Amino acid sequence: MAKKVKIYTTSTCSYCKKAKEFLSEKGVEYEAYDVAADSEALKEMRKISGGATSVPVISVGGEVMVGFDGDHLEKLLNSPDQGS
């Protein structure tokens, strides 16, 4: 089963766009949340990221990264499931 991927973004964030393009190129399905327009998504993003206020915040099967680093994201996508 594929890991659930969520990405918290804003419409003006260039790194968010790069992260979504990266996921799309890899054929990874994800749910995107615009934290500028969705206060509940903003609350959830801050909760799972330890209070991060910058985007993107990307959750892969429960593992969370702040910012976009293609190599790190690739590792998260390919790491074995930890029972999540």
Please name each of the domains of the chain with its CATH number.
5-78 (3.40.30.10)
Alpha-carbon distance 50 to 76, whole Å?
Answer: 18
| Sign, CA torsion 41/19/50/6 | positive
Alpha-carbon distance 68 to 15, whole Å?
Answer: 6
State pLDDT tens for residues 13-44: 999 999 999 999 999 999 999 999 999 999 99
Alpha-carbon distance 59 to 65, whole Å?
Answer: 7
The distance of Cα 80 from the centroid of its chain, to the nearest Å, equals 18
- Given a contact cutoff of 8 angstroms between Cβ atoms, the answer to whether 69 and 22 are in contact is no
Q: What is the structure's pLDDT at 18? A: 97
State pLDDT tens for residues 48-79: 999 999 999 999 998 999 999 999 999 999 98
